[in-house]
């Protein structure tokens, strides 16, 4: 079972590394959204600090939904997905591997580039660290919830917009606590532990349930 | 006596049964809502202890639609689950018919809430937990309807939207707690806590009658919609072609 996990993970990473431009598209989309907000809302120091937590998360949510369509679609088109569904190994495990690969390719780069956002928005270095931490816990949840939506809308016309409509409401709790933690980190003497605990709980729940739901959704879409 | 539990799972039988009971639900809905509104408008005090004046009477529509919007979501998930477990096509049709009435009543709940908010809080909209959760509930209803109409193959659209409804049911409480306590260490909100316990008895009667009326209205519209869906999906079958044409 574990070998199936590693195989799918390695395969997905290898395929993506052969076409690196896709990784950078998501990353630059994230950066573009981030840099549009100050120009639209105002560039005062106070405003920037106030909107930074929400903006980072909204940009991350949008980037994540944009990347979702690619999660299963090419495997669906060339028939790989059907082979995975027929394989004797548990489909949930292989789906989890695909989610992990997806996160490594689209979520992790966002986490790594987020300090730049901190500089754009004049955040104190302490808050930048917190931002990286919450993104590190939060973006895998986005990939895992989003995978359910991607599986449900597999191969549909206009699936990209539809998947955003389906999963964005479900991203809300992650965004609330993720941006809450960054905002709280800018105030003195408040504990951040509750935020990390809640986000960690979400991440654990998502790891347990979303591969099951995604596998079920994929089987329906493949029928 | 042997009972055939699945007699009305057959669309042909259910179509006839629904056609017979719909008028009763309509009559019950009209009578109950009329009684409830009459009681609500003429038998209740003009102002409440907490300073609310005549305008609080929107509660008779607001509360009914709020409860129904939530109940119908649960009912929709119930039918979706029955469909996934027993693979009965009628259950999926029930779920899909329920979603439209549910979405509609969610809009009614939001609209009456906004009007009430304007008179009592002085603002149409506030990012209060209950309002926000209802907005999200509306989005989930819309997502369900959008997914269903995006898939041409009915078997797949039924099952896919059923899975979405289940995921939604699991996540709505999480969303509610997230908007209720954005700061995990403390909670507060503008919307009053539920005050059903110390409510004036006449107001209570009005609420109960209108809510029951809304139930009946929902049953009637859902059954009518199910009949439409049955006709649409089974238009090529023998029994549908033998139905009398109605103008």
Q: How would you write chain B as a 3-class SS string?
A: CCCCCCHHHCHHHHHHHHHHHHHHHHHHHHHHHHHHHHHHHHCCCCCCCCCCCHHHHHHHHHHHHHHHHHHHHHHHHHHHHHHHHHCCHHHHHHHHHHHHHHHHHHHHHHHHHHHHHHHHCCCCCCCCHHHHHHHHHHHHHHHHHHHHHHCCCHHHHHHHHHHHHHHHHHHHHHHHHHHHCCCCCCCCCCCCCCCCCCCCHHHHHHHHHHHHHHHHHHHHHHHHHHHHHHHHHCCCCHHHHCCCCCC
B207 confidence band (pLDDT: 50, 70, 90): confident
Query: For residue A75, which phi and psi values (nearest 5 degrees)?
Result: -70, -30
pLDDT > 90 fraction of chain B, expressed in percent and rounded = 30
- Average pLDDT of the residues in B149-171: 89
Q: Residue B5: how many CB atoms within 10 A of its CB?
A: 7
The total number of structural domains in chain A stands at 1
Helix (H) / strand (E) containing A200: helix A193-222
| ipTM attached to this prediction | 0.85
pLDDT at B172 over 60: yes
The whole-number pLDDT of residue A47 equals 87
As given in the structure block, the two tokens for residue B207 are 């609420």
The whole-number pLDDT of residue B43 equals 75
- Residues A128-187: pLDDT tens digits? 999 999 999 999 999 999 999 999 998 887 777 889 899 999 998 899 889 888 888 888
8 Å CB contact of A180 and B183: yes
**A215, B74, B78, B161, B163 from B85: Cα distances, Å:** 16, 16, 11, 14, 12
The whole-number pLDDT of residue B192 equals 59
Q: Mind telling me how many Å the CA of B238 is from chain A's nearest CA?
A: 27
pLDDT in tens, chain A (223 residues): 788 889 889 998 898 888 888 888 889 999 999 999 988 888 888 888 888 899 999 999 999 998 888 888 888 888 888 888 888 888 899 999 999 999 999 899 999 999 988 888 888 888 899 999 999 999 999 999 999 999 999 888 777 788 989 999 999 889 988 988 888 888 877 788 888 988 999 999 999 999 999 999 999 888 8
As given in the structure block, the two tokens for residue A164 are 């955003």
Find the distance separating the first CA and the last CA of chain B, reported in whole Å: 41
Q: What is the 3-state secondary structure (H, E, C) of B125-142?
A: CCCCHHHHHHHHHHHHHH
Q: What angle do CA A28, A31, A33 make, to 5 degrees?
A: 110
- CA A29/CA B179 separation, integer angstroms: 28
- CA A154/CA A132 separation, integer angstroms: 31
As given in the structure block, the two tokens for residue A176 are 């609330």
Q: Which of A162, A176, A216 sits opposite B147 (nearest CB)?
A: A162
Q: Mind telling me how many Å the CA of B206 is from chain A's nearest CA?
A: 34
Which residue did the predictor score with more confidence, A59 or B185?
A59
- Measured between beta carbons, the chain B residues lying within 8 angstroms of A61 are none
- CA A140/CA A197 separation, integer angstroms: 15
Which residue did the predictor score with more confidence, B133 or B142?
B142
Q: Mind telling me how many Å the CA of B100 is from chain A's nearest CA?
A: 16
Is there a contact between B153 and A146 (Cβ–Cβ < 8 Å)?
no
In A, minimum Cα distance to B146 occurs at: A162
Q: How far is CA B235 from the centre of its chain?
A: 28
The whole-number pLDDT of residue B186 equals 65
Which residue did the predictor score with more confidence, B3 or A145?
A145
- Measured between beta carbons, the chain B residues lying within 8 angstroms of A221 are 156, 160
8 Å CB contact of A195 and B178: no
8 Å CB contact of A166 and B136: no
Is there a contact between A176 and A193 (Cβ–Cβ < 8 Å)?
no
Report which DSSP code applies to A104.
Answer: I
8 Å CB contact of A156 and B150: yes
The whole-number pLDDT of residue B139 equals 92
Is there a contact between A114 and A36 (Cβ–Cβ < 8 Å)?
no
Is there a contact between B59 and B203 (Cβ–Cβ < 8 Å)?
yes
The structural domains of chain B, with segments of one domain joined by +, span 21-182+200-231
CA atoms within 13 A on the CB side of A66: 19
Is the Cα dihedral B4, B10, B12, B16 positive or negative?
A: positive
Count of H helices and E strands in chain B? 7, 0
The whole-number pLDDT of residue B195 equals 61
Query: Which of A144, A174, A220, A223 best probes binding to B when mutated, by most B CB atoms within 10 angstroms?
Result: A220
- Domain residues for A194? 2-222
Q: Which of B160, B170, B184 sits opposite A217 (nearest CB)?
A: B160
- CA B34/CA B29 separation, integer angstroms: 8
What average pLDDT does the structure give for chain B? 84
- Residues A155-164: pLDDT tens digits? 887 777 889 8
């Amino acid at each position: 079972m574990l070998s199936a996990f590693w195989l799918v993970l390695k395969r997905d990473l290898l395929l993506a590394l052969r076409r690196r431009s896709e990784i950078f598209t998501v990353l630059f989309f994230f950066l573009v959204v981030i840099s549009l907000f100050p120009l639209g809302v105002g560039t005062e120091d106070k405003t920037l600090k106030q909107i930074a937590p929400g903006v980072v998360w909204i940009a991350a949510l949008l980037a994540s939904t944009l990347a979702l369509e690619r999660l299963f679609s090419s495997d669906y088109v060339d028939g790989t997905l059907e082979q995975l569904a027929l394989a004797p190994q548990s489909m949930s495990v292989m789906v989890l591997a695909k989610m992990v690969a997806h996160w490594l390719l689209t979520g992790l780069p966002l986490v790594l580039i987020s300090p730049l956002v901190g500089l754009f928005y004049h955040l104190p270095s302490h808050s930048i660290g917190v931002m990286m931490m919450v993104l590190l816990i939060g973006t895998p949840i986005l990939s895992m919830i989003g995978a359910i939506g991607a599986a449900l809308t597999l191969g549909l016309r206009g699936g990209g917009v539809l998947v955003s409509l389906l999963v964005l409401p479900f991203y809300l709790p992650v965004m609330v606590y993720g941006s809450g933690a960054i905002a709280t980190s800018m105030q003195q003497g408040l504990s951040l532990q509750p935020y990390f605990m809640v986000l960690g709980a979400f991440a654990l729940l998502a790891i347990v349930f979303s591969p099951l739901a995604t596998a079920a959704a994929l089987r329906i879409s493949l029928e | 006596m042997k009972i055939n539990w699945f007699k009305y799972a057959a669309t042909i039988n259910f179509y006839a049964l629904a056609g017979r009971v719909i008028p009763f639900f309509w009559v019950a809905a009209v009578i109950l809502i009329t009684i409830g509104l009459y009681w609500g408008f003429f038998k209740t005090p003009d102002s409440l202890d907490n300073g609310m004046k005549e305008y609080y009477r929107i509660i008779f529509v607001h509360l009914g639609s709020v409860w129904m919007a939530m109940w119908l979501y649960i009912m929709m998930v119930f039918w979706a689950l029955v469909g996934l477990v027993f693979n009965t096509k009628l259950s999926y049709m029930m779920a899909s018919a329920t979603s439209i009435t549910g979405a509609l009543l969610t809009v009614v709940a939001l609209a009456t809430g906004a009007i009430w908010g304007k008179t009592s809080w002085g603002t149409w909209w506030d990012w209060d937990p209950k309002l926000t959760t209802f907005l999200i509930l509306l989005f989930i209803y819309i997502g369900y309807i959008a997914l269903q109409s995006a898939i041409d193959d009915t078997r797949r659209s039924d099952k896919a939207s059923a899975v979405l409804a289940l995921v939604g049911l699991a996540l709505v409480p999480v969303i509610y707690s997230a908007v209720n306590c954005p700061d995990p260490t403390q909670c507060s909100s503008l919307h009053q806590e539920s005050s059903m316990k110390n409510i004036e008895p006449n107001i209570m009667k009005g609420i109960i009658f209108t809510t029951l009326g809304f139930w009946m209205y929902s049953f009637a519209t859902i059954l009518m919609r199910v009949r439409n869906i049955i006709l649409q999906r089974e238009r090529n079958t023998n029994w549908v072609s033998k139905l009398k044409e109605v103008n």
